[in-house]
Amino acid sequence: MGAPGLLEESRVKASPPVGSGGTVAVPRPPSKPWDLPGGTGQGTLKLEVSHFDLWYGEKQALFDINLRAHERTVTALIGPSGCGKSTLLRSLNRMNDLVDGVSTAGSVALDGQEIYTPDLEVELLRRLVGMVFQKPNPFPKSIYDNVAYGLRIQGERRPVVLDEAVERSLRASALWTEVKDRLDQSALGLSGGQQQRLCIARALATGPEVLLMDEPCSALDPLSTQKVEDLIHELRSTCTIVIVTHNMQQAARVSDRTAVFLMGVLVEEGPTEKIFTSPDRKETEDYVTGRFG
Ligand SMILES: Nc1ncnc2c1ncn2[C@@H]1O[C@H](COP(=O)(O)OP(=O)(O)OP(=O)(O)O)[C@@H](O)[C@H]1O
Ligand SMILES: [Mg+2]
């Protein structure tokens, strides 16, 4: 089901040339293997948020959000604490359904299908749109059982299928070599960085097409952070990624496009390099240069 009426507002403009204004000193490596032509948001549209509002009870937290994410891109959501980044992220797989008193208006479409419809199978949605949280949250189960969890919930019992999925997911999250000899041990015995990669493996096991990451590195040391960032670059070839981060350098390193939020409003969205070097909006410049927030 498409929603052509809602697709008219075009937030994704053709990328203008990046100016030499150079307002912000955020380092971005000159060229990377994932800087492929067409890799900056011009592919197939995956997620489209249109005129989306959200209220917690009486209090409105998101105002008329319009945002698009294309296949095989990484979109960073940035902005000061309390501006609605996590709220928007959770809206993309209807995690906010779990919060009492939440109401929404407007549209979120995945592959052109509206997700805010009463008959939507939310479990299926969350299988397609996986989520990784700020704090690693492994279950108090073995490493194997953590990764196999989602598939078992779906009714998968065949050991050969589960074994294959566990190994594939742990390899994809760059954890396999560290844990392959201790799969039956508790996940709680892993380091924080390993736990976060385990949670990514758990999210990957059910084959998501979109991965939502809410400050996935904020509890990690620099080495673990680098591993997760490397992982994001690799996952980008199969997934659409939306990541919340407070770390400007991280947004600059990992994302193709960046959306800047202030007080529940998306003030500017565009190619990451442009957002950090020659933004259109004064509020964006003030935020990315650390003048407020
Ligand atoms: N469960 C909730 N019930 C009521 N209000 C909430 C709830 N969760 C968030 N809010 C409010 O919604 C607004 C946006 O919160 P949100 O957590 O999305 O911000 P954020 O940008 O992710 O902030 P941070 O960077 O601190 O994580 C805030 O005013 C917050 O107090
Ligand atoms: Mg948050």
Average pLDDT over residues 130-156: 94
CA–CA–CA angle 164, 47, 53 (5° rounding): 130
Which residue in 67, 60, 70, 54 sits closest to 106, CA to CA?
Answer: 54
Lowest mean pLDDT among 18-27, 90-99, 149-158: 18-27
Do residues 30 and 141 touch, judged by C-beta distance below 8 A? Answer: no
DSSP 3-state of 127: helix
Average pLDDT over residues 184-209: 94
pLDDT at 145: 98
Return the best residue to mutate from 63, 78, 86, 91 for the ligand 1 pocket (most ligand atoms within 8 A of CB): 86
Lowest mean pLDDT among 34-48, 148-162, 186-200: 34-48
Mean pLDDT of the chain: 86
86 C-alpha to ligand 2 centroid (Å)? 4
Q: Whose alpha carbon is nearest atom 4 of ligand 1?
A: 56
Q: How sure is the predictor about 3, in pLDDT bands with cuts at 50, 70 and 90?
A: very low
Say what the pTM is: 0.84
Return the ligand 1 atom nearest residue 261 CA: 21
Which residue in 5, 97, 78, 93 sits closest to 46, CA to CA?
Answer: 93
Beta strands in the chain (DSSP E): 45-56, 59-70, 74-78, 102-110, 113-114, 129-132, 210-214, 240-244, 257-262, 265-271
Return the ligand 1 atom nearest residue 89 CA: 18
Average pLDDT over residues 105-120: 95
Q: What is the pLDDT of residues 249-271, one digit of tens each?
A: 999 999 999 999 999 999 999 99
Average pLDDT over residues 178-184: 97
81 C-alpha to ligand 2 centroid (Å)? 7
78 within ligand 1 shell (Cβ under 6 A): no
Lowest mean pLDDT among 46-50, 58-62, 87-91, 231-235: 231-235
Q: Is the pLDDT confidence value at 207 over 80?
A: yes
Q: What is the pLDDT of residues 6-40, one digit of tens each?
A: 222 332 222 333 333 333 343 333 333 333 433 44
